[in-house]
Amino acid sequence: MSQSSDTQKDLLVKGNHDFASVTRLISDIPQQKTPAWWYIAFGISNILLAMLLGMVILLIWNGIGVWGLNQPVGWGWDITNFVWWVGIGHAGTLISAILFLFRQGWRTAINRFAEAMTIFAVMCAGLFPAIHVGRIWAIYWIFPLPNSMQLWPNFNSPLLWDVFAVATYFTVSTLFWYVGLIPDLATMRDKVKGFYSKIAYGVFALGWTGSNRHWQHYEKAYMILAGLATPLVLSVHTIVSFDFAVSIIPGWHTTIFPPYFVAGAVFSGFAMVLTLMIITRKLYHLEDIMTIDHIEKMNIIILVTGNMVGFAYAMEFFIAWYGGVEYEKFAFINRAFGPYAWAYWIMITCNVVAPQFFWVKKFRRHIGLTFFLSIVINIGMWFERFVITVTSLAQDFLPSSWGYFSPTYVDVLTYVGTFGLFFTFFLLFLRFLPMVAISEVKGVMPQADPAYYRNNQKH
Amino acid sequence: MKPDIESNLPTESLSFPEGRQLARIFLPAGMIALILTLSGIFFNAERFFYSWLTGFTFIASILLGALFFVMVQHVTRSSWSVVLRRIPETISYQLILLPVFFIPILFGMEYLYEWIRPERIATDELTQHKLPYLNFPFFILRNILYFIVWGFLGYKLYKNSIALDHSGDLSLDKKQRVLSAPGILLFALTVAFASFDWMMSMDSHWFSTMFGVYYFSMSFQAALALIVIITLFLIKKTAFSKIINQAHIHDLGALLFGFTVFYAYIAFSQFLLIYYANIPEETLWYYYRFEGSWIYLAYLFLIGRFVLPFILLLNKRAKSNHALLTGVSIWILFLNFLEMFWIIIPILHKGAISVHWLDVASFVGFLCLSIGFFFYLLAQNSLIPKKDPLLAESLKKH
Amino acid sequence: MTPSSNTYGILAEFKNPADLMDAAASVRDAGYTRFDVFSPFPIHGMDDAMGLKPSKLGWIVLIHGIIGLLGGIALQVWSMDIAYPVHISGKPYLNFPAFVPVTFALVILLSAFGTFFGLFFLSKLPKLHHPIFHSNHIERATDDGFFLCIESKDPLWDKNKTIDFLTSIGASTIEQIPEESP
């Protein structure tokens, strides 16, 4: 095996890098002059962020009626966006935690990046339920705080489970991300020239020296955090699915929801990682680290999770008929052929048909196609949540109270605005932090294994 | 190209001819137990069919879980598992026997499945609604399809692997992957519908979209348990101990731990959603399985199949402790049978646990026969896929 | 004060992870206990080479997890059944299946805090300063340098002998690290 290092084939890092050149490749990025495109992108993101702020103020000032919500559709784009953003976040945790536990060395090239995406996506997600409560000044009621009325939040409510799950998820993801960053912040501290930047990186590096007495605890901590994040990521989307599935609304109450939501989350999250990664590796010339092999592996995961989602659609449809419950049957027929059929078929095309391209190796390694499909999949997954949320509410038990949901401009602009929030943070991350886990990439290079030198000496 | 460490390992010659002696014990024992079970048809036909179905779904779950294990290893090109892949390959090869075990069920359809009873069809509107799916010819057709898919996959994956041992033809390795990728998709669909057909449709009103996943989660946990038991047994008995190191065992232990959690997750999610919505057409299934003393079994699964293994295997060192792993695995395997029992028997015996000696005979029969056949097959071939291109990497695992 | 009394230790550089690991094993075998190695990434097998005891972090996390478990159950049992019981969708006050998600989240949250703060507790971080930073080379330990430092607090400490010893096991550069800023 050690001899295979002569060939480029099996290597995770391409292009004959040594430790110093890997450090340089990544730590130089925050030290370079800020590229012009960054200012443009950051400016656009800031405008969108300002717009989001305006929309949120408008909403809080007027109440949630400014959205298209009304009887019978009380959950519309807000919940759709919430689930969509949380789902996107899940890929980051999957890459950083689950692939770590499965010892997938290739994850090191993208985990930092994907974890950052997770944190910012969860921020965007958390915004929606928070502003949807209406009276946001009383939002602290969702926490179990002693109060003068001696009331407590209802722990039987899946919405409260969500509060705990998403808050925990955000906290744990951030801790995990930060623990991973510490050695690289120390690298930055030792590399940057400026006095203030040295202090800034130095403070956050917490005095990291690379001591093995630290590495020992660090590795253990990393392993434990990965072990904690893995069931957590499954539980978060499971609990999100409980928001729907513990009810008795037709189309929402079905037992396959938990694993189906988790698969869908991973599916859309990987697509989002790919979208961002394909742009970033180009802009920052990181093709040696984020290689085409990574893209192929991620496409395989997209294919697998896409088919899991397809499997769940099939099960739902079959059981809706098999169960023989009238409302359930209607809900599914109505999804496919009712007033929202257009959304349903967009969903099917994007989520079930589109990933089938990835059966072919050539397509899996085609960057242009991957980029296109990754966007298609994210559109599809947004529509999935839209279909689930809105079709079931718009036409439920009583035909006399059926309705049709149309978003207002506030709905649309709030959603678009969250991209401003996301990209503002994401661009700041790209600009100031090492976007690849430097120490981890070094750790998976063949030179990092002491056995590498022993074998080479022998031959 | 071959690293030095390989030369002093007995990879070329490692086999387990003593397996024949074990087969000579287990095969007749299994046969006798199954014949005893079959004899039940003469004095308690109803109970016989229920016991048989319990044993059948139990053994099918293990064989299917092993098949899934093999396919996943191929698709992910996983190297760590190569050294022990012959074990699940040999287990899942037995899927070609599954249709034989299924035949008795065809004679007991009227006992087992209410949707086939004419008086039920005549009076029950829902059963009439399901007639296009739940009818005897289509039931048989579907099952033939399942057995073809599983038999083909189990047979091919095993035979290709053996052929690779002899010829060293690396195109076979690629074939395994080409087979496994669509194989997993077919597996998911067939296992889900098989679980609907065999178990869910026994109560012709009840439905749960998760049921297929639930059956799979039990299958995979049980299959992992069996793989652990056999691996540790072979380490004790053969030079396998030189090939498999603690790191391999630890990974197996970690998988068993992980899929114990997965089982709990799926089983709990299914229960919670049905319990929470509290709609009569769904809750009835749990109602019968929680009625009277049956509830104790439900608690046993919660404690015994999740909490206990979870606590015992939480520690890193515990995941490679041979004695502990063997104990936990045998326990899980037994509980897997018991859970099939808990799913199937309450339809016959409402309100109180009822154990019949036919259940025991069926359990012993299916398990012994499968183990006997396993060792019979294992004895004929190398214990490891010795020409697998990833073997060298697998041996080096630390 | 003699110059050696305020020497923090001797820092030796090695060429690659393999040499560093061999060096660590030699230092351990020579009987030194107050020494440390510095590398840009964790080196597989180094803990054994240095003779480190397994990390105790797991136990800290376990204790936090148990606090999360008991605390989560206590919070829900108390607020739903004792403090202000309310009938909700025909379920019992002690609706244990419904308590699982929040309890689970709290177990994970507390365990993660335990891991995070336990890591810093065990590695005595954060630290604003450390004598090792007086070295002219140590900054390469976060890049591509592999170092070993024997501290002057070691019972076997003898400056010249230590330097000779480190040279004999293949150090490429040797540097004295002062305790105070030079």
- Chain A CB within 8 Å of residue C1 CB: no
For residue A432, pLDDT beyond 90: yes
Mean pLDDT within C165-177: 89
A129 inside domain: yes
CA distance B396 to B377: 27
A377 and A350 in contact (C-beta within 8 Å)?
Answer: yes
- Residues in chain A within 8 Å Cβ distance of C24: 212
Candidate from B80, B277, B396 with C-beta closest to A247? B277
A324: number of CA atoms within 13 Å, CB side?
17
A298-304 mean pLDDT: 92
Q: Which two tokens stand for residue A154?
A: 């209802």
* Chain B partners within 8 Å of C100 (Cβ): 268, 272
For A310, which DSSP code? H
Q: What is the mean pLDDT of chain C?
A: 90
The pLDDT confidence band at residue B173, using thresholds 50, 70 and 90, is confident
Is pLDDT above 80 for B341? yes
Average pLDDT, chain A: 90
Q: What is the pLDDT of residue B392?
A: 81
For β-strands C146-151 and C35-38, DSSP reports them as: antiparallel
CATH number at residue A236: 1.20.1630.10
- The verdict on residue A438 lying in a domain is yes
Instruction: Among A181-195, B362-376, C124-138, name the one with the lowest average pLDDT.
Output: C124-138
Neighbour count for residue B175 (Cβ, 10 Å) = 17
Instruction: For chains B and C, count residue pairs whose Cβ atoms are closer than 8 Å.
Output: 15
**Contact criterion met (CB below 8 Å) for C149 and C177:** yes
pLDDT reading at A198 higher than 50: yes
Q: What pLDDT is recorded for position B398?
A: 67
Strand order in the sheet with C173-178: C35-38, C146-151, C7-14, C173-178
Residue A146's pLDDT is: 83
Percent of chain B with pLDDT over 90: 74
C92 touches B: beta carbon within 8 Å: no
Distance CA B309, CA B312 (A): 5
Q: Which candidate from C44, C58, C97 shows the least CB-CB separation from B275?
A: C97
Q: How far is Cα A25 from Cα A152, in angstroms, rounded to an integer?
A: 53
State the nearest Cα–Cα gap between A139 and chain C, in angstroms: 18
Check residues C104 and C130 and name the one with the higher pLDDT.
C104
C169 touches chain A (CB under 8 A): no
Contact C44 A450 (CB under 8 A): yes
- Give the pLDDT score at A1: 33
pLDDT at B116 over 50: yes
Position A452 scores a pLDDT of: 84
The whole-chain average pLDDT of chain B stands at 91
Domain encompassing residue A283: 42-135+153-444
Q: Please state the domain count of chain A.
A: 1
Q: Cβ contact (<8 Å) for B268 and C44?
A: no
With a pLDDT cut of 90, the percent of chain A lying above it is 68
Q: How near does any CA of chain B get to the CA of A315, in Å?
A: 6
Q: Are C24 and C37 in contact (CB under 8 A)?
A: yes
Q: Which of C47, C88, C132 comes nearest A216 by C-beta? A: C47
Q: Is A37 on the interface with C (CB under 8 A)?
A: no
C105 Cβ under 8 Å from any chain A Cβ: yes
Contact B272 C44 (CB under 8 A): no
The alpha carbon of residue A445 is apart from the nearest alpha carbon of chain C, in Å, by 11
Where residue A113 falls among pLDDT bands split at 50, 70, 90? confident
Phi and psi dihedrals of A52, rounded to 5?
-60, -45
B316 contact residues in C (CB cutoff 8 A): 58
Q: What is the pLDDT of residues C113-138, one digit of tens each?
A: 999 999 999 999 898 888 888 888 88
Give the least confident one: A193-197, A208-212, B289-293, B387-391: B387-391
How far CA B13 is from CA of A446, B151, B167, B172, B374, in Å, comes to 31, 29, 15, 21, 19
**Which residue carries 């709290």 as its tokens?**
C106
What confidence score (pLDDT) does residue B5 get? 47
C-contacting chains (≥3 CB pairs under 8 Å): A, B
| CB within 8 Å: B278 and C44 | no
A3: confidence class by pLDDT, cuts 50, 70, 90? very low
Task: Tell me whether C44 touches chain B (CB under 8 Å).
Answer: yes
What pLDDT is recorded for position B2?
A: 41
**Stretch A171-195: mean pLDDT, rounded?**
93
Q: Inform me whether the pLDDT recorded for A128 exceeds 90.
A: yes
Tokens read off for A320: 């809706």
Of residues C173 and A44, more confidently modeled: A44
Asked if C92 is an interface residue toward chain A (Cβ–Cβ < 8 A), one would say: no
**Within a domain: A453:** no
Contacts of C98 in chain B (CB under 8 A): 272, 276
Q: Which of B165, B191, B178 is nearest to B391 (CA)?
A: B165
CA–CA dist A304, A298 (Å, integer): 10
Task: Tell me the percentage of chain B whose pLDDT exceeds 70.
Answer: 97
Instruction: Identify which of B3, B207, B276 has the shortest CB distance to residue A319.
Output: B207
User: In whole angstroms, what is the distance from residue C101 CA to residue C76 CA?
Assistant: 11
List the single residue in B268, B278, B398 with the smallest CB-CB distance to C100. B268
Give the separation between CA A202 and CA A190, rounded to whole angstroms. 8
What ipTM was predicted for this assembly?
0.93
Nearest to B77 by CA among A300, A363, A269: A300
Domain enclosing residue B105, as ranges:
3-395
Question: Is residue A131 one of the residues assigned to a domain?
Answer: yes
Total number of domains constituting chain B: 1
Residues of A in contact with C23 (CB under 8 A): none
CB contact under 8 A, A255 and B209: yes
B272 touches chain C (CB under 8 A): yes
Residue A5's pLDDT band, with cuts at 50, 70 and 90, is very low
Rounded to whole angstroms, the Cα distance separating A190 from A24 reads 12
CB-based contact A246 B276, cutoff 8 Å: yes
Per-residue pLDDT at B315 exceeds 60? yes
Residue C143 is nearest to which of A187, A215, A443, comparing CB atoms? Answer: A187
Whether B40 has a pLDDT exceeding 50, the answer reads: yes
**Average pLDDT of B46-69?**
95
CB atoms within 10 A of CB C35: 23
3-state secondary structure chain B: CCCHHHHCCCCCCCECCCHHHHHHHHHHHHHHHHHHHHHHHHHCHHHHHHHHHHHHHHHHHHHHHHHHHHHHHHHCCCCHHHHHCHHHHHHHHHHHHHHHHHHHHHHCHHHHCHHHCHHHHHHCHHHHHHCCCCCHHHHHHHHHHHHHHHHHHHHHHHHHHHHHHHHCCCHHHHHHHHHHHHHHHHHHHHHHHHHHHHCHHHCCCCCCCCHHHHHHHHHHHHHHHHHHHHHHHHHHHCCHHHHCCHHHHHHHHHHHHHHHHHHHHHHHHHHHHHHHHCCHHHHHHHHHHHCCCHHHHHHHHHHHHHHHHHHHHHCCCHHHCHHHHHHHHHHHHHHHHHHHHHHHHHHCCCCCCCCCHHHHHHHHHHHHHHHHHHHHHHCCCECCCCCCCCHHHHHCCC
